[in-house]
Structure 1
Amino acid sequence: MSLTRSVSAVLSLSALTLAASTPDQIFSPDVPLKVSNAFKALPTAIQYPQYTDTNAGNWLDFSPNTWTSGFFPATGYALNTRKQLCGATPANGLGMADWLDLGRAASNGLLTLDADHGIGHDVGFISFPFEEELLVNPQNQTAIDAVNRFATMLAARFNPTVGCTRSWDTTDPTDFQVIIDNMMNLEILFQSADLTGNATLRSIATSHANTTMKNHIRDDGSTWHVIEYNSTTGAVIKKRTAQGYADNSTWSRGQAWGIYGFANMYKRTNDTNYLSTARRLATYFLDNLPSDGIVPWDFNAPLTPPPRPADSSAATIAATGLLLLSQQETTDADKQKWIDSALQLLNNITTLAWKPSWQSLLSNGTVNWPANNFLTGIVYGDYYYIKAGNELVTMGLASCQSGNATNTTDPASQPQTSPAKSSARRLTPFMSRW
């Protein structure tokens, strides 16, 4: 596997003094063990883990027609990357599975998805494992076709009058809703443009980012979750939330998506407006953390009553976004600031949310507080936890060693497969066209 990285983005430990160490758990052998168990427990009818129950931490599986379904196959690719970075040893447990085969096999269930059956703009998230496959094998035609097909679907949702791709479909065609999360889906347009030479895809991505930069971000660097436009005039109709505390509050996961999305836009375009925007969003995120440093579900939700839950997924997404932002900076001081903050987020959320007995890596995720879905493990929270560890190794900021990992030889510490999944299957071999 080729792990191509920009040389200028790779930082060395000799150049920077880290204010916080990497949490040991991020490289624990429990990480591959839990992920391997989850692959073994996938149901016969293709479904993917999205979040856990709140009591035992057992994964709950959902149809591929769900916006999160790309994250679990991508987790297999993330562990394949870690295996390339760290090697496979008895201590790290990375040799217990062929992660590339698992990621490919699980990705098969995504190949027939389309934007008209619930996933909409989230074809970008769905495409993650195919983007990862192209890092392994740039000539893989299955992955090329999938990336181009998903990019075409996203481009079809673009409205030039509004300047954005539509996020959520509505019964009223003039109500054009765009969510901050959609910044994460723009990468698929760049990926396809690289493959095809279609410059229109890049133009759609930059238009969406520019319009989002104009309308989604408040003066203090916080973000609205949802902007509703009039599709025929492009006028802003309403600014609101769907998963946050209030229309004028800041939903932390949306803020994290924004940090990552704008840092990636700068990486893709070298437009300094995107860099300054990513910095503003990151500064707000860090300046508004509570005194314990734990990322809340919403920065403006009251502490009591009811209790304001954490969101471990917002923490891991933000940490990974901060590491990406650090790679775009040109001075050691700026790099240092974002790296130290990323490490602190990872340490704080690990202290709170690492649960050896759960099937997920982390607990204390908030999927959707208004829908009463919180205190869970979340598949994308775990994915970015692994990805953050990989980035730290790639940047020369961490080793692959776990200093105080859970004793995985103790049966009591082994994550257990849910009884409801006793009919688990072995993954079918990946398609021959892989």
Structure 2
Amino acid sequence: MNRILLMCGLVGMWMSACNQGGAQPEETDVENTPTTVSDSGLSARIANLLDYPATAGNFPRSLEPNGQIRGVASRDWTSGFYPGVLWYAYEYTGNEAYKKLAQEWTALVEDQKTNAGTHDMGFKINCSFGNGYRITNDPKYREIMVESAKTLSTRFNPVVGCTRSWDFNKDVWTFPVIIDNMMNLELLFLATEFTGDSSYYRMAREHAITTMENHFREDNSSWHVVDYDPQTGAVRGKQTHQGYSDESSWARGQAWGLYGYTMVYRFTGEAQFLDQARKIYTYMMDHPSLPEDLIPYWDYNDPSKSKPRDVSAASVTASALYELSAYASDPKMIEQADAILEALQSEVYLEDGTNNMFILTHSTGNMPKDDEVDVPLIYADYYFMEALLRQKELK
């Protein structure tokens, strides 16, 4: 727990249909800042979380085109986010009702602790059980986290120096590693702290180094997928699977990298990881296509005049910047994170909350497949709540 406590001391707690939510954001830079919704308005949206009882196989992920909640099974990579949102809501409000519901939803994710067919163990287990353990010190939660890390470690290939990401499209990829996978390393680092077994730490660190060497272009933007030869470790190909093109810069991928390397620096204290986080940050904030309200379009290189924003990328970025600002001693990062949260709490980006429990709208899931485009996404809410808690602690 030492590094978790250290982080809290530095930067705070761990923190179509969708248009029925906020008004559509401008396609170009937002010149007139929308009115920020009052604290009571935000609290009312958070209160809607209590109206969604724990139900196995129905973890809220997004909205369907007909406006109904898209519920998924625990095996889905997003299943840990709703329990995590509830844990954060409990910290934000102090209301025990959120804690009770968080415990109920978290219990429904436990069956994933032995699922070796996914790399998303951190998203599923750390966001649910990780926050639960941090708040309650329940030893069962800690045991589940360690077992989950052990499961995740079976996907690590020492020749490649990474944990494998996807198991599909085997006719295209041999050993694919996606930039998102940086986010799942936290569970491995924590497993070493919990058990004293340094093998988890070494896997996480090596994955971060290998990704730093192969995932980033000269301008510090990243590819989404790097495919490796599992026998030799050689790079077979690079793609941006969920971006505009293979050579484009997918916004959420940039945010995953920023958050991931900031987190890796937290656990290792190695300057190379802090430097990488700074480089990614500079690329994002200096990019000419970034709108004035700092809520990025879904891909930094999409040339279309009409293109959706990605609030999920903005939420991840804001949360990361609060942590990175402490390590980099850069108050400008705090100002930018504050600006993102101010925009997200405006009438433009807040979901109206009348028919569902989502907090934010205007996120983009998978644009190339025209899936979950310009809708609420549960992971946008998760990192938004985490950012709010980090901001609160800093203030």
* Counterpart residue identity of residue 58, structure 2: Q
Of 74, 77, 81, 2:87 maps to 77
1:292 alignment partner in structure 2: 292
Q: Which residue of 2 aligns with 1:353?
A: 349
Q: CA RMSD of the aligned region, Å? A: 2.5
Please state how far the C-alpha of 1:344 moved relative to its aligned partner: 2.0
Question: Match for residue 142 of structure 1?
Answer: 140
1:52 paired to 2:52: no
Higher Cα radius of gyration? 1
Task: Name 1:401's counterpart in structure 2.
Answer: none
Q: Name the structure 2 match of 1:301.
A: 302
After TM superposition, give the deviation of residue 384 of structure 1 in Å: 1.1
Equivalent in the alignment of 1:264: 263
Alpha-carbon distance in structure 1 between the residues aligned to 2:172 and 2:238: 18
Alignment length (residue pairs):
364
Write the mapping of 1:72-111 to structure 2, written as runs, cut at 5 A. Answer: 72-84=82-94, 95=95, 98-111=97-110
Partners of 1:123 and 1:280 lie apart in 2 by 27
Normalised to the residue count of structure 1, the TM-score between the two structures is 0.78
1:232 paired with 2:231, answer yes
C-alpha change, 1:141 and 1:173, in structure 2 (3 Å) is farther
Contact 1:313–1:378 (8 Å) recurs in 2:
yes
Structure 1: gaps of 5 or more residues: 12-20, 85-94, 397-434
Aligned match of 1:160: 158
Distance 1:112 1:102 in 2: 18
What does residue 74 of structure 2 align with? 64
Give the aligned residue type for 2:297: P
> Structure 1 residue 54: deviation in Å?
5.2
- Structure 1 Cα separation of the partners of residues 278 and 198 of structure 2: 27
After TM superposition, give the deviation of residue 192 of structure 1 in Å: 1.0
CA distance in 1, matches of 2:236, 2:286: 30
* Alpha-carbon distance, 1:191 to partner: 1.1
Amino-acid identity (%)? 33
Shift of 1:32: 4.6
User: Within 5 A, what are the aligned runs for 1:117-196?
Assistant: 120-127=118-125, 128-138=127-137, 140-170=138-168, 171=170, 175-196=174-195
Measured in 1, the distance between the counterparts of 2:340 and 2:220 equals 19
* Matched residue, 1:280: 279
Q: Which residue of 2 is the match for residue 372 of structure 1? A: 370
* Partner Cα separation in structure 2 for residue 158 and residue 187 of structure 1: 14
CA contact 1:173–1:231 (8 Å) conserved in 2: no
1:342-390 CA distance string (max 9 Å, x none): 1222233444312324532111110110111201001010111111111
Task: Indicate whether 1:393 and 2:392 are aligned.
Answer: yes
Secondary structure in 2 aligned to 1:130? helix
Deviation at 1:194, TM superposition (A): 0.8
Structure-2 residue corresponding to 1:214: 213
**Distance (whole Å) between structure 2 residues aligned to residue 385 and residue 6 of structure 1:** 18
Match of 1:28 in 2: 39
Displacement, 1:82?
1.3
Contact 1:65 1:117 in 2 (8 A): no
SS of residue in 2 equivalent to 1:354: coil
In structure 2, distance between residues paired with 1:61 and 1:165: 28
Please state how far the C-alpha of 1:99 moved relative to its aligned partner.
1.5
Q: Secondary structure at the match of 1:66?
A: coil
Contact 2:113/2:145 (<8 A) preserved:
no
Q: CA deviation at 1:116?
A: 4.4
Q: Per the alignment, do residues 63 and 186 of structure 1 end up closer, same or farther by CA in structure 2, a change over 3 Å counting?
A: same
TM-score (norm 2): 0.86
Q: Is the 8 A contact 2:81 2:382 kept in 1?
A: yes
Q: Secondary structure of 2:277's match?
A: helix
